[in-house]
Chains A and B, each alone.
Chain A
């Protein structure tokens, strides 16, 4: 099968699917038509046409016109004959094309609807577009003598509301379903933690629509609660789903309860306000989430910068002694009587410094390894156990007791190598801090958790950090030490922050360093 054939097959499938969907939507939503005008209070099918024209291009215009003609004939029975029906279909198709064009051209929106600007433009283009469409469509009806000349203004308002609410409710859901990034969010929403949200929405819907018909308009405002809730929790995706569900309920209940048409029109008017509110709350929540993500990103950059500074400092020490030894060797070699014994003593020192520099570099390589942290479910208490085991000898030599206190906390998403660097650093520091302090010398590592965070505390019997130094200890250059993990606390904090956690020190005595890691994956 050639790609062209596949593409052709796909296009045919899309065309058939579109026409079927368009006609079906028009047929399903053909309720309470305004006498002779055939204007209904909810028209979702234009959204399908606009979405098709936005994504597949304007060359699909004839198909849209065809679908509109078929729907006119099938649903309304083409009372004015084939020619008039073709005219109505052409008017509708051209109007939808103009709306799609406005949204992709002059008033271009990002179809993922991630910025408030996109929502403003969408609402503006759709409301103005629906009004113009209604004007032209009713004009065509009057011109062909299909519509009665009575109530043309009412017809226009009804058309406007029906189309505007239809597109504003349906188009966002279609956009969410079509775009891969949004589709993933949509799937996630449907997959989990939506049960409560669904029950809440269903409960309020039941409350509103089991009330006597005449009171439903008065209780309608209660629907803003689940809508705003959904929008706040799940952003644009949540808002558009909730709006669609409310819309469907209005239609189904209205149809089943054979409501007066006027009530349904009134409900639809309120639904426009509801839909627009949902869109705005949803996009605001999305924007805030994105800002949080960017902040996290920039925190990561800052952490990386601090780590680079710490490493530069760490490398500077061996480089200083390395060059100084090398210059000393040259002076010895250039002296009239060469002190060979001194050369023999100095060369190994120089080599040792070169190795120390190499070790810093390899530690850096370990840290970045594949260039990114490799997150996997990690049991922190097990990592702490391994680190304690490896430091046991050192602790015993310093007469410091090492203890691990942990229940069975849930695993966290973490890079185990980096986490061990942090633990080794904190526990190593704690042993060092406890060593000069009076007996009993002890270091305790505690791991506990609540619903959202896992917390690790490393407590030593040393004097701790005085209040004035609580932030200073995390500065890269405060961590300079001739032995051990000299990069120290600055890097440890950088690692923890890169994992979405926090690290801090409590005022001493005793010495208490704590860090947290999120139990849920960062959004």
Chain B
């Protein structure tokens, strides 16, 4: 189950007071936070398995928030990014959204701005993690199949009947039946249709 407790708000801002106050108010609202003084610092530490969202200032010495976002995407890190601007101009907002930012925050923040932005980002993150969870589960289940079970599954998915599968593999239809039951159990499929759908989801 994915919970807010597993998600972290990563705050990247060159202004110490801004990142400290933002971290304080978000933690008071029950979010876990981590702060970084520059885009470079964040990029040096970030791991692909980190989850949550990133709130990054668009204007920083060195890499800007937008450049950092490009770098994250290039590395395949899909955490949603909220861009903070000091002046809500159309150009930077457009650039932020073009770069796939989920939201953007204007300084000074309004009352519910930060929480709202984090919620938007987390909703996106949960959806992403849920999709990733299903996929991972499927992969794990398929990996649990024995080589013979895998062969049986492949042939069934191709549309062969039990008897044809038995003939092709040189085993008895009764054995095919047993393998099929084990496969359905391992993949948590209730019928043949589900079995096909689950197995195809990974191919």
Chain A residues near B (Cβ < 8 Å): 312-313, 316-325, 327-328, 331-332, 335, 346, 349, 352-353, 356, 477-478, 480-482
Smallest CB gap from B108: residue in A:
A320
**Contacting pair B60 A316 (CB below 8 A):** no
Q: Chain B contacts of A478 at CB under 8 A?
A: 59
Residue with the highest number of chain B CB atoms closer than 10 Å, among A313, A322, A323, A353: A323
Type the 1/0 row for B136-147, where 1 means its CB is closer than 8 Å to any CB of A.
000000000000
Partner of B17, one of A313, A317, A327, A328: A317
A36 CA to B7 CA, complexed, in Å: 113
| Other contacts beyond A317-B15, A331-B25, A481-B14: 4, CB < 8 A | A313-B87, A321-B21, A324-B25, A481-B61
Smallest CB gap from B57: residue in A:
A480
A210 CA to B5 CA, complexed, in Å: 104
Partner of A324, one of B14, B22, B60, B86: B22
Contact sample, A vs B, 24 pairs, CB 8 Å cutoff: A313-B87, A316-B107, A317-B15, A317-B17, A318-B17, A319-B108, A320-B15, A321-B17, A321-B20, A321-B21, A324-B21, A324-B24, A324-B25, A325-B24, A328-B25, A328-B28, A331-B29, A332-B28, A349-B20, A480-B15, A480-B60, A482-B14, A482-B15, A482-B16
Shortest Cβ distance from residue A175 to the other chain B in the assembled complex, whole angstroms: 52
Given A321-B17, A324-B109, A481-B14, A312-B87 contact (CB < 8 Å) = yes
A318 CA to B17 CA, complexed, in Å: 8
Query: Which residues of chain B in 88-139 are interfacial with respect to chain A, using CB atoms and an 8 Å cutoff?
Result: 107-109, 111, 114
Query: Which residues of chain B in 1-53 are interfacial with respect to chain A, using CB atoms and an 8 Å cutoff?
Result: 14-18, 20-22, 24-25, 28-29
Partner of B86, one of A335, A346, A477: A477
Smallest CB gap from B17: residue in A:
A321
**Contacting pair B59 A328 (CB below 8 A):** no
A353 CA to B109 CA, complexed, in Å: 15
**Contacting pair A327 B87 (CB below 8 A):** no
Shortest Cβ distance from residue A50 to the other chain B in the assembled complex, whole angstroms: 59
Shortest Cβ distance from residue B154 to the other chain A in the assembled complex, whole angstroms: 55
Q: How many residues of B contact A (CB 8 A)?
A: 22
A152 CA to B108 CA, complexed, in Å: 88
Q: Chain B contacts of A477 at CB under 8 A?
A: 59, 86-87
A162 CA to B60 CA, complexed, in Å: 75
Shortest Cβ distance from residue B143 to the other chain A in the assembled complex, whole angstroms: 47
Given A316-B86, A328-B25, A331-B25, A480-B20 contact (CB < 8 Å) = no
A324 CA to B59 CA, complexed, in Å: 19
Smallest CB gap from A346: residue in B:
B24
Q: Chain A contacts of B111 at CB under 8 A?
A: 327
Q: Chain A contacts of B61 at CB under 8 A?
A: 480-481
**Contacting pair A349 B87 (CB below 8 A):** no
**Contacting pair A321 B14 (CB below 8 A):** no
**Contacting pair B28 A321 (CB below 8 A):** no
Smallest CB gap from B112: residue in A:
A327
Q: Chain B contacts of A481 at CB under 8 A?
A: 14, 61
A482 CA to B13 CA, complexed, in Å: 10
A322 CA to B86 CA, complexed, in Å: 15
Smallest CB gap from B14: residue in A:
A482
> Closest 5 interchain pairs by CB?
A324-B21, A321-B17, A320-B108, A321-B21, A328-B25
**Contacting pair B108 A356 (CB below 8 A):** no
**Contacting pair B108 A323 (CB below 8 A):** yes
A317 CA to B16 CA, complexed, in Å: 10
Partner of A349, one of B17, B60, B86: B17
Query: Which residues of chain B in 47-99 are interfacial with respect to chain A, using CB atoms and an 8 Å cutoff?
Result: 59-61, 86-87
A482 CA to B37 CA, complexed, in Å: 10
A313 CA to B14 CA, complexed, in Å: 14
Shortest Cβ distance from residue B176 to the other chain A in the assembled complex, whole angstroms: 64
Given A313-B86, A477-B59, A327-B25 contact (CB < 8 Å) = yes
A319 CA to B14 CA, complexed, in Å: 15
A26 CA to B60 CA, complexed, in Å: 79
A324 CA to B108 CA, complexed, in Å: 8
Q: Chain B contacts of A349 at CB under 8 A?
A: 17, 20-21
Q: Chain B contacts of A356 at CB under 8 A?
A: 17
Residue with the highest number of chain A CB atoms closer than 10 Å, among B18, B20, B21, B61: B21
A128 CA to B144 CA, complexed, in Å: 111
Shortest Cβ distance from residue B82 to the other chain A in the assembled complex, whole angstroms: 14
Shortest Cβ distance from residue B98 to the other chain A in the assembled complex, whole angstroms: 19
A321 CA to B23 CA, complexed, in Å: 10
Q: Chain B contacts of A352 at CB under 8 A?
A: 17
Q: Chain A contacts of B60 at CB under 8 A?
A: 480
A312 CA to B59 CA, complexed, in Å: 14
Partner of B18, one of A320, A327, A328, A346: A320
Residue with the highest number of chain B CB atoms closer than 10 Å, among A319, A321, A478, A481: A321
A34 CA to B164 CA, complexed, in Å: 138
A480 CA to B18 CA, complexed, in Å: 13
A335 CA to B27 CA, complexed, in Å: 13
Q: Chain A contacts of B29 at CB under 8 A?
A: 331
Q: Chain A contacts of B24 at CB under 8 A?
A: 324-325, 328, 346
Q: Chain B contacts of A312 at CB under 8 A?
A: 87
Shortest Cβ distance from residue B13 to the other chain A in the assembled complex, whole angstroms: 9
A353 CA to B107 CA, complexed, in Å: 15
Partner of A320, one of B14, B16, B59, B107: B107
Smallest CB gap from B92: residue in A:
A477
Partner of B14, one of A322, A325, A335, A480: A480
